[in-house]
Structure 1
C-alpha cells in the first residue's frame, strides 16, 4: 500500500509541469523534475496477470512467515493453545513428530555413511537411500506443511496471533522474509513499468551519464588548470619570498652603507610582489568565471532536456490515454460476453437439469420396458413350448386315430371276408 501511495505522489509531481510554462518553473524543480522519469507512471496494476503474480507472491510470503514460526509455536504451545484450537494444535504436533522422525532418519543415514555431514542434505534426498524411506518422510513433511497451512487459512484469528510474534523468527528466516518483501517491492515496480518505459529510462540514463561524464571531465580539466595556476602562484610567491629574504640579508649587510638605497629596494620588491599577487588573483578570478560559465551552460542543457522530456511526456500521456480507452472498451466487451456466457450457462444448467430428469424417467421406463420385454419373451417361450407340445400331441392323436381307423378297417375287412367265406361254403 505504501508503494502505491509513493508512486501516485510521483505521478502527480510529474504531470503537474505539463500545463505550466518552462519560465514559471523554479530552479529547484528544474533540476529535480527530469529524474522523475525513473519512477513508474502508474500506481496500480492494470492487468489480471500482474495482479495474479503479485497475489501469488503475497500468498507465498504469508506461508513463509507462518512456516518459519512453527518451531516457536511448538516450543511455546501454552501461549497459542486458545487461538490455535484442537485441530491446529494436533496438526502441529503431527508435524513435530514427522520432523523428529526425519531428524532420526537423517542421523541414522549419516551414521551409516549414506549422508555426509556439512553437505546440503536436500541434494541427497531419495538418491542415497535405496529403501526410499527418506523420500516418504520428505513427502510426509510436505503434506503436513500443506495441511497445517490450510488449517491456518481456515482460522484467521490464529494467523493474526502467530504473525504478531514475528520477533521470534530466526535471523536466517527473518532475512528470507525481508528478501521476499524486497523482491515483492521490486517485482511490483517492474510490473508497473512497461518494456517501452524501461527502454526510455535506460536511454535517458545513458544520455544523462554521458553528459555528466563530459561535464565532469570539463570541470576536472578546469580544476586542474586552477590547481596548476595556484601552484604556479605559490611557487612564484615562494621564489619571491626567497628572493626577498636574500634581499633582506643583503640589505642588512648594506644597511651601514646606504639606508636610502635599502628602503628604495625594499619598496620596489614589495611593489613587484603586490603586482604578482594581483596578477595571480586576476587569473583565479578568470578561472572562476570560466567555471561559472560552464555551470550556466550545464543548467541550460538541463532546462533543454527538461523541455524535451515534457514534450515526450505529453506524447506518452496521449498514448496512455488511448491505451486506457482501448482497455476500457475491451473490458466492456468482455463484461458483455461474460454476461452472455452466464445467461447461456443458466440456460445450459436448466436444460441439463431437464435432461437429467428425462434421463431418470427414461431409465425408469427403460427398466420397466426391459421387464415387460422379458415377461413377453417368457410368455412367448411358454406359448411356443405349449404350441409345440400341442402339435406333438395333435400329431400323436392323429397318428393314433389313423392307426385305430386302419385297425377298424382291417377288422371289418376280415369280418366281411369271413362272412363271405362262410356263405360260399353253405352254398356248396
Structure 2
C-alpha cells in the first residue's frame, strides 16, 4: 500500500448543467440559474470526521486495487522494477509469484480431476471439493502475501508510485473495476456534501421537474400529431419521386449495357498490361535476389573482419588497463613519497620562517641605521659639492682677474714704448 489519499478540503463535485427538456415551458432564469443552485451540493468540502474517514477508506481501497492488479505486470518485467522496489519488496513479490503459480497448478489439477463444481468458474477458489484443506490454506497464504506486499508498498511510497505509473498494462476488467470504485467514491463524496434539508429541496425540485416533464409530454404528443401529418405529406411526395426514379433507372440500365462493352475492352487491355509488368517485375526480383546474396556475402565478410578487429582491440584494451593500473600504483607510491617530502619541507619551512622573522626584525633596525648613514652621506656630499662649486667660481674669478691684470700690464708697456718712440722722433727732428 502506498500513501493514503486523503480527500482534499477544496474538492468539489461535477457542476455540469442538466440536459434541456424538449419543450421549454419555464422562464430562462429558472432554466439556467435555479436548477444549478438546487442540484449542486451546499458545501465544497467535507466537514465531519466520519465522512472524511469514509472517503479516506475509499481512496485507500482504490490505491490497493490499483497496486494488486499490477502485480503480474511487475513480475513479468521484474528487472525494470527491481532497483525501485528494493530488497524487501522484491523478495515479497517473488514469494507471492511462487504462491500464485502453485495455486494455479492446484486449480489445474483439480479441474482435470473434475473436483471443481460445474457452472462455477475455475477462479472460484471455495467451489472445489477440498477434503484436505490444502486449497484454503493456500488461499490464506495468498491473502497474507498480498497484505504483506501492500504494507511494504506503504513503507516505500516511491516504489508504489512507480508501479501505479504502469497503469497502461492493467487488465481491461481491472480498469472497469477501478473506474467503478472511482464512481462510487464520487457518488459518496457528493452525497456527503448534501445535508438532509438540501436533499428534501432536491426531491421537491425533482417533483416540479416531473410535473413540467408531464406538460412537455403532452406538448410532444401534439407535436407528434403534426409530425404524422407532415410524414404523410412527405410519403406522397416520395411516391411521386419514385416514379421519376424508375424512369431514371431505365435510362441508367441502357447506359450500363453500353458501358459493359467498354469495361470489357478496358479489362482485356489491363490484363495484357498486367502480364507485361509481371514479367518485368519477375526479372527485377531475380536481379534483386542476386544483389541480396552478394550483399549477404559482403556482410558476412565484414562481420568476420569486425570480430577480428574487436578481438585485437579487446587485447589492446586489456593491456592498456593493466598499464593504467601499474601507473596508478606507481602514482600512489610517488604521491606518498612526495607527501612525506612535503611534510619534511613544511617543517624546514617553519624553522626558516621563524629565522626569517628574526632576520627581518634585525634588518629593520639595520635598515633604519643605514637610512640615517645614507642621509648623512648625502648631506655631506651636498656640502662638498657646494664647496667645490664655490671653489670653482673663485678659481674662475681669480683666473679672470689675472688675465685682466696681465692685459693691463701689456697695454701699459705698449703705451710706454709708443711714447718713447714718439719722443725719439721729436728729438731727431
- Which interval holds the TM-score relative to the shorter structure? 0.3 to 0.5
TM-score (norm 1): 0.46
Q: Which has the larger radius of gyration?
A: 2
Please give the TM-score of this superposition, normalised by the length of structure 2.
0.46
Between Structure 1 and Structure 2, the one with more helix by share is: 1
